[in-house]
Structure 1
Amino acid sequence: MPIELIPATDAHRTFARDLTRRAMLAYYREFDLLWIEEAFDQAWDWREQWLVVDGDRVLGFCSLSKDRQALFIRELHLLPEHRGQGVGSWVLQALAAKAAQQRLPLLRLMVFKSNPARRLYRRQGFVVMGEDECFVRMQKVVA
């Protein structure tokens, strides 16, 4: 697949916010959390935003932050028609390579406990580091 990550711009914010809301709203409801549009918009300004594309087709987006030891996947969402086709695995491998290039030894994320994407993360080498009533914290050693 000629998939790549390209920088998202402010023009992609509405697409990314809507995709995130559609993907996450059921989990927010399940765990009695409040979706706040403004929180997404504020985070957009300080995180790294990437589109997942195949040629001129946008497949999804991811949002990243980092500290001194880890690249943190804050959001990773694919359009429903592109799930289950290896795109998520490709993105996780690309992000692991990005972390290694930046000399960051860890790739981290948090996922809702009931999200089936946990299986994908385990297959890609992520291990559980902790959990609370809503989320599981996972990480993968990349360097």
Structure 2
Amino acid sequence: MLKTIKITPLITYDFALELTRNNMQFYYKKHKIEWENACYAQNWQKSENLGIYQEQRCVGVIRLEQDAHACYLADLQLLPEVQGQGIGSHALDYIRQLAQVRQKQLMSLVVFLDNPAINLYRRNGFEIMQRNEILARMECNLTLNTQKI
């Protein structure tokens, strides 16, 4: 059973940076990509940053960007010990509802092809639209996909 989950703008930069860097270091190293704290800091400034709380404990971070038509999921990161408990699906439901309230037509994200999170996104209505050797750009059409509201 999913414990109480709350998504709120209360999130610290230091927690988000450490969590994201720790979760992504395997993929960055594997694909020979250098992590840059300055790049993360710059992206943090232009993102809408949200904390994911379970029982009063911050267990994850969401970073969103948007334009006139789309909501872009820049990050959905969870502490390893809470992954696989339905929190990611709960967060995607929240983001979907937020995007629809904001009258966005689609949600978009980029994920490493070898990241198991790709299956979470597929289960939640995302489809691969483009791919290269290591990354996939996925979209969820909000005008067609209203099943989770």
- CA separation in 2, counterparts of 1:4 and 1:107? 21
C-alpha contact (below 8 Å) 1:59/1:78 kept by paired residues: yes
SS at match of 1:65: strand
Letter in 2 for 1:112: F
Displacement after TM superposition at 1:142 (Å): 1.6
Where does residue 8 of structure 1 map in the other structure?
Answer: 10
- CA separation in 1, counterparts of 2:10 and 2:127? 29
Mapping 1:90-109, distance limit 5 Å: 90-109=90-109
- CA separation in 1, counterparts of 2:88 and 2:135? 20
The number of residues matched between the two structures is 141
Displacement after TM superposition at 1:5 (Å): 1.1
SS at match of 2:104: coil
When the two structures are superposed, what TM-score results if normalisation uses the length of structure 2?
Answer: 0.91
Letter in 2 for 1:120: L
SS at match of 2:85: coil
- CA separation in 1, counterparts of 2:138 and 2:127? 5
Displacement after TM superposition at 1:89 (Å): 0.4
SS at match of 2:128: strand
Q: Post-superposition, which runs of at least 4 consecutive aligned residues in structure 1 deviate over 4 A? A: none
* Identity %, equivalent residues: 34
Name structure 1 gaps, 5 residues minimum: none
- CA separation in 2, counterparts of 1:111 and 1:137? 7
Name structure 2 gaps, 5 residues minimum: 144-149
